[in-house]
Structure 1
Amino acid sequence: IDVDNTFLNGDPKEDIYMLQPQGFHNGAPNTVCKLRKTLYGIKQAPRAWFQKLIQTLIRLGFKQARSDTSLFTFTSKVTSIYILIYVDDIIITSNSPIVI
């Protein structure tokens, strides 16, 4: 799976401000904007996306591997699911094709 607009989905942990985009005017030309979501090109974006994804997977019952923090596993009596993450690419595999 290739996640679209990956870095636009992160929640920044600290306050991030940017100059207003060219062509955007709210009456004050030197006003800055405070970001509520991350943007492509800021150094915090990849980490914020990964943290949000980790929280979601753990909430769904996955466990993060200690040896590789990009590997998540879910095991039940019936099935096992493995998820591997590399930036905005996600590989999912399972012993049950129905689960995938």
Structure 2
Amino acid sequence: ELDEPVFMDQPPGFRDPNKPNYVCRLKKALYGLRQSARMWFDKFSNFLINYGFFCSPADSSLFIYKGEHGTIWLLL
């Protein structure tokens, strides 16, 4: 789910003694990475759009849903 490759050192306790200089490539964003907030926002945005919300052209963090019983404004 990451847009670009991210590598990290082998975590303590999981180090391979035969390959001490190897690194791990992450497949998903971890909390604490700069990419994790963006990945969360992209997933949540897609979820909202699939449920009928649309993104405001003025603010990409404002989602609007117009239903027969009223309008919902959701600002992330």
Question: How would you bin the TM-score normalised by the shorter chain?
Answer: 0.7 to 0.9
How far residue 84 of structure 1 moved from its aligned partner, in angstroms, is 1.2
**Aligned-partner SS, 2:68:** coil
Q: Following the alignment from structure 2 to structure 1, what is the Cα–Cα distance between the partners of residues 65 and 10?
A: 44
- Identical-residue share of aligned pairs (%): 40
Q: Following the alignment from structure 2 to structure 1, what is the Cα–Cα distance between the partners of residues 50 and 23?
A: 35
The correspondence for 2:36, drawn from 45, 48, 61, is: 45
Structure with bigger helix share is 2
Moved more, 34-43 or 58-67: 34-43
How far residue 20 of structure 1 moved from its aligned partner, in angstroms, is 0.9
Question: Structure 2: which 5+ runs fail to align?
Answer: none
Counting only pairs closer than 5 Å after superposition, residues 16-35 of structure 1 correspond to structure 2 as 16-26=6-16, 27-35=18-26
Q: CA RMSD in A?
A: 1.6
**Aligned counterpart, 2:51:** 60
How far residue 73 of structure 1 moved from its aligned partner, in angstroms, is 0.8
How far residue 62 of structure 1 moved from its aligned partner, in angstroms, is 0.5
TM-score by length of 1: 0.65
- Give aligned pairs, total: 75
Question: Structure 1: which 5+ runs fail to align?
Answer: 1-10, 86-100
TM-score by length of 2: 0.81
